[in-house]
Every structure is written in structure tokens, then in C-alpha cells.
Amino acid sequence: MHPLIAPSILSADFARLADEADAVTGPQGEGADWLHVDVMDAHFVPNLTIGLPVVESLLRATAVPLDCHLMIEDPDRWAPGYAEAGAYNVTVHVEAAEDPVMLAKNLRAAGAMAGLSLKPGTPLEDHLDVLRHYDTLLVMSVEPGFGGQSFLPHVLDKVRTARRLVDTGHLRLLVEIDGGVNADTIEAAAEAGVDCFVAGSAVYSAEDPGRAVRELRAQVLRAAPHRWVT
Ligand code: DX5
Ligand code: ZN
């Protein structure tokens, strides 16, 4: 197991997405492991970004696996299309999904990993049965909708609980964190048990996004060395 770093293109230049993907691409262990794509519909969250056509173009423009985070209403209807298009992981919000178990099955049948996201105020305990059907758990560490917000440390309790459930074999999934992850907060997240770290502004507002990815990964490796034995 090695830590996964997933730069969020929400903070990238949307007119140059292929170049922005290239800026974080590198050999394994150096470049981005996944590219995090925030899809927002101006209904589930008060912001509007991109949708399936742009994701399809991005899939053709980069070899980095796409981690699509759907902050949309009615994911039961729309999310499988992202899986069919070739996204590596498709994450939906538990607060929006009508039938999250069926949705996970549909995402997997379409060839993607299935991800479930929880807003900062949504308890983990209420969704443990559903999570047995998912491959990733995306713990939101800001209110979804915008990049550049401050990390909410209380969500690390959820990360610790999820880590324990995975380590004891009660759940089988990757724990991912999203929002306000930067050089000041990533070590606490690593210590709490995160597997995959999404970082938007910390990567794309940096002068050298590729270097920012390498530095974040190095911090994770230093903060929780016992977790990353090869
Ligand atoms: C927020 C998005 C995040 C966002 C993170 O709703 O889900 O992925 O891009 O941006 P930073 O890292 O700047 O908080
Ligand atoms: Zn996101």
C-alpha cells in the first residue's frame, strides 16, 4: 500500500485541462496517482463546474486515472454514465443518492470503482451497511462546493473510525479525504488513517504543481511511515 495523491482540477485552468493534467503527471510514486474531477450541478451544491462531455475529453487527454466526485442531485441517474465513459472511480454523495446500494452495483458493472462521499455533518455510523458495497469512502473536510476553504479537523474522527473498521476487516475500502488538504493539514489526515489525499489549491495554486504533489506525498510518508511498508 502506498499513499495516493489526487490533485483536484477545480483549482486548475479549465481552458487548459490537458496541460494541467500533464503538469502533475509523472512516474509512479512521483506524479499524481489520480486526477480528482469535481462535477457540480448548482443544485446539490451552490456552484456549477463541468459535466460528462468535459470528462470524456479529459479521459482522452490524460492517462492518469480520473476520480470523479459528483456533487449532483439524482446521481442514481447520472453517475453510471461517468463509469461507462471510463472514469476510474465514481463518487456519489450519500445525501443525494436514492438507492446507494443499487447505484454502487451499477457503477461497478460499468467498470468503475464505486465511491461514497459524506458531507462534514453526515455521520459515518448511519451508512455502514451501504459502505460494504463501496470501494472508496470520500470524507469531505469542507462543505462541498468550493475550493480554497479551511480544513475541518473534526472530520478526522470519521477517518479514524473508518480506518479502524477497515483494519479490522469490517469494511473493505480506501479512505479518501477532500477539502482544505495542504502542507499544514495533510499530516494530521495521514496520521488519522487516510489512504488517498485530494488537494486542489495546494497543488494548482503552487508555482510548480508537480513539485507540490511530490512534497505532499513526502509529508504523508514522513507523518505515518508505519502505514506504508512495501
Ligand atoms: C470541494 C471539492 C474539492 C476541492 C478541494 O467541493 O470537492 O475537491 O477541489 O479544493 P481545496 O483542496 O482547495 O480545498
Ligand atoms: Zn472533490
**pLDDT per position as a tens digit, 24-33:** 999 989 999 9
For residue 201, give Cα distances in angstroms to 5, 9, 147.
13, 9, 7
DSSP 3-state assignment of 74?
A: coil
User: Taking CB atoms and a 6 Å cutoff, what residues make up the pocket around ligand 1?
Assistant: 8, 10-11, 36, 38, 69, 142, 144-149, 178-181, 198-202
Q: What is the pLDDT of residues 69-107, one digit of tens each?
A: 999 999 999 999 999 999 999 999 999 999 999 999 999
**Measured torsion, CA atoms of residues 154, 38, 165, 123, in degrees rounded to the nearest 10:** 50
Q: Residue 32: what pLDDT?
A: 98
4-227 maps to CATH 3.30.390.50: no
Mean pLDDT for all residues in the chain: 98
DSSP 3-state assignment of 39?
A: strand
Kindly report the pTM of this predicted structure.
0.98
For residue 227, give Cα distances in angstroms to 11, 210, 220.
29, 24, 10
Q: Give the position, in ligand 1's atom list, of the atom nearest the Cα of 145.
A: 6
Q: Give the position, in ligand 1's atom list, of the atom nearest the Cα of 151.
A: 14
Percent residues over pLDDT 70 in the chain: 100
How many angstroms does the Cα of residue 131 sit away from the middle of ligand 2?
19
Place 230 in a pLDDT band, splitting at 50, 70 and 90.
Answer: low
As a whole number, mean pLDDT of residues 140-145 equals: 98
Instruction: Give 7's strand partners.
Output: 199
Q: Residue 95: what pLDDT?
A: 98
Question: What residues does each domain of the chain span?
Answer: 4-227
> Does pLDDT of 111 surpass 80?
yes
DSSP 3-state assignment of 75?
A: helix
Q: Is 157 labeled as ligand-binding?
A: no
How many angstroms does the Cα of residue 93 sit away from the middle of ligand 2?
11
Q: Give the catalytic positions in this structure.
A: 38, 178
